[in-house]
Structure 1
Amino acid sequence: MRLQGKVAIITGAGQGIGAATALRFAEEGAAVVLAARSQDKLAAVAATIEAAGGRALVCPTDIANEEAVQALVASTVETFGRLDIVVNNAVLMVPGMLANHDTKAWRQNFLVSLDGAMFLMREAYAQLKANRGAVVNVSSVCGLRGSPGTAGYSAAKAAMIGLSRNAAMEWGKKGIRVNTVIPGAFLTPATEAVIPDDASRDATAKSIPVGRIGDPRECANAILFLASDEASYITGTELVVDGGRVAELNAGTASWE
């Protein structure tokens, strides 16, 4: 029960890594506030948590709307009396090749992934300071490596890393830790939409050093660690959870086995 007595807001909690994180946090004793735009998906996650004896609050929220974020934090404190942990996992990826990227589409990549994270961190600051809390921001390996067609998304996710580092420096002496988890390929609805058939999934799995695509729960475990007191001396850093993909030097056909 590593999060016993803690209250956590998790954005993008209706599916994928966000839902897996909410379930893990609840298993470890936290009361979880589920934020996303789809109430039905959030309700399903909440039902699973409550069926196992956990506590969950469903808060349909457009994280890119400042007033909605203010209401999210207010509802959290009104319901549970405190806020200890923020997990910024919500994302909106609008693809586009840079040479002809639509300006509106470009900016949409930043509204949820980056602006929404900043809004929630700013609004949660007083509670996090009072409770010596923790923030875990979810970036992406696209924020570390180039990926054709995802210029806006990659730039937003790279900026998320910078945001986390700056917040860690500004808030460290206030007792607030801020870290970033950087996921690779996981079997989430968003990933499955991009690699919908067995052949593409097999090819993706073979490109990863451990030889498989990750389960969202594996990323949730990394987020849980950074949010818990086990990571009490860790702030301003990044934890890559990608099966070794970004650590690999692609040497073509060369082999020294």
Structure 2
Amino acid sequence: MGKRLAGKVAFITGGSSGIGEATAHRFAQEGAHVFICGRREAPLAAVAEAVRARGGQCDYVVADVGVEGQIAGAIESARAKAGRLDIVVNNAMAYSWGAIADTELDAWRSNFTTTVDGTFFGTRSALRIFREQGSAGAIVNIASICGLFGTAWMAGYSAAKAAVINFSRAAASEGAASGVRVNVVVPGVVETPATAGMLSDDKTRAGTERLIPMKRVGRPEELANAILFLASDDASYVTGAVLSVDGGRAADLVTALE
């Protein structure tokens, strides 16, 4: 077991499954006291129990990241319980499908409440706590390849994830002088509950993999490793970076060659 995060306290939103769950396990393996956050208690409790069963430290807080008071209170309660805060990973997201011409305003805005507002609330809370502690800190925000390229029938989600990327750059500029680093991880297609539909059968999975230069979808653990790097002191001179972890999808214009 490594100790790159020994003595660190980390707060991860969207921690009940997928990338957030894998990151909780990875951080705990590296010595962090991890707090995970989400809207449903049962899966959060299951993840926390699994982390502890492997010898890690993990607690959970039930909160909706799109509700300012809930997420700010959750992060503050974690800081109060652990005595400090060092890392925040804003991973929670929500999305809707639909053609732009048929999208109602509420459906459009639903993409932003969790993804953009939640990232803003989490980042702002972290910056305030780091300032009060007089400490450096690391914030890792999770975007999506949809935030780099237009995606049909996912205009709201694409716009929200693009906002996360440029918001993070602004936050990196503000935090740099006080030692606060803000970076972005951009997943491609990763095998999580959110992508279960597009990977539900051999035909759709093969079609998806054909578009990826490495010819396979990613694993949550591979994203967790990238998040760990940016959260750790190994990335002590990295801020404002946007790191694609996508099997080469964003690098390749011609993606369907066999």
Same structural fold, with TM-score higher than 0.5 when normalized by the shorter chain? yes
Distance 1:166 1:154 in 2: 19
- For residues 231 and 211 of structure 1, do their structure 2 counterparts lie closer, same or farther at Cα, with a shift above 3 Å needed? same
Q: Could you say which residue in structure 1 is the equivalent of 2:206?
A: 202
The residue identity in structure 2 corresponding to 1:41 is: P
| Residue 99 of structure 1, aligned match among 98, 101, 113 | 101
Secondary structure of 2:197 counterpart: helix
**What do the CA deviations read for 1:52-110 (whole angstroms, capped 9, x no partner)?**
11111110110001110121122111210001001000000011211221100100100
| Residue 58 of structure 1, aligned match among 54, 57, 60 | 60
| Residue 244 of structure 2, aligned match among 228, 240, 247 | 240
Q: Could you say which residue in structure 2 is the equivalent of 1:213?
A: 217
| Residue 161 of structure 1, aligned match among 146, 158, 165 | 165
**What do the CA deviations read for 1:149-196 (whole angstroms, capped 9, x no partner)?**
000000000000011000000111011000000000011011112331
- Which has the larger displacement, 22-31 or 96-105? 96-105
Moved segments of 4+, more than 3 Å: none
Distance 1:195 1:56 in 2: 30
In the alignment, is the contact (CA less than 8 A) between 2:184 and 2:241 conserved in 1? yes
> Given the alignment of the two structures, is residue 38 of structure 1 paired with residue 28 of structure 2, yes or no?
no
Over the matched positions of the two proteins, sequence identity in percent amounts to: 49
Distance 1:134 1:154 in 2: 25
Matched length: 254
| Residue 142 of structure 1, aligned match among 136, 142, 146 | 146
Distance 2:255 2:143 in 1: 27
Q: Could you say which residue in structure 2 is the equivalent of 1:27?
A: 29
In the alignment, is the contact (CA less than 8 A) between 2:190 and 2:219 conserved in 1? yes
Using the size of structure 1 for normalisation, the TM-score is 0.96
Distance 2:101 2:209 in 1: 30
| Residue 229 of structure 1, aligned match among 230, 233, 238 | 233
In the alignment, is the contact (CA less than 8 A) between 1:96 and 1:102 conserved in 2? no
Q: Could you say which residue in structure 2 is the equivalent of 1:132?
A: 136
Distance 2:135 2:53 in 1: 28
> Given the alignment of the two structures, is residue 184 of structure 1 paired with residue 184 of structure 2, yes or no?
no
The residue identity in structure 1 corresponding to 2:178 is: K
How far off is 1:252 after superposition? 6.9
- Structure 2: where are the runs of 5+ without partners? none
- For residues 252 and 121 of structure 1, do their structure 2 counterparts lie closer, same or farther at Cα, with a shift above 3 Å needed? closer
Secondary structure of 2:85 counterpart: coil
Distance 2:7 2:135 in 1: 11
The residue identity in structure 1 corresponding to 2:227 is: I
In the alignment, is the contact (CA less than 8 A) between 1:128 and 1:134 conserved in 2? no
In the alignment, is the contact (CA less than 8 A) between 2:211 and 2:255 conserved in 1? no
In the alignment, is the contact (CA less than 8 A) between 2:198 and 2:205 conserved in 1? no
Distance 1:187 1:172 in 2: 34
Q: What is the CA RMSD across the aligned residues, in angstroms? A: 1.3
In the alignment, is the contact (CA less than 8 A) between 2:183 and 2:240 conserved in 1? yes
In the alignment, is the contact (CA less than 8 A) between 1:87 and 1:135 conserved in 2? yes
Distance 1:73 1:185 in 2: 29
- Structure 1: where are the runs of 5+ without partners? none
The residue identity in structure 2 corresponding to 1:15 is: S
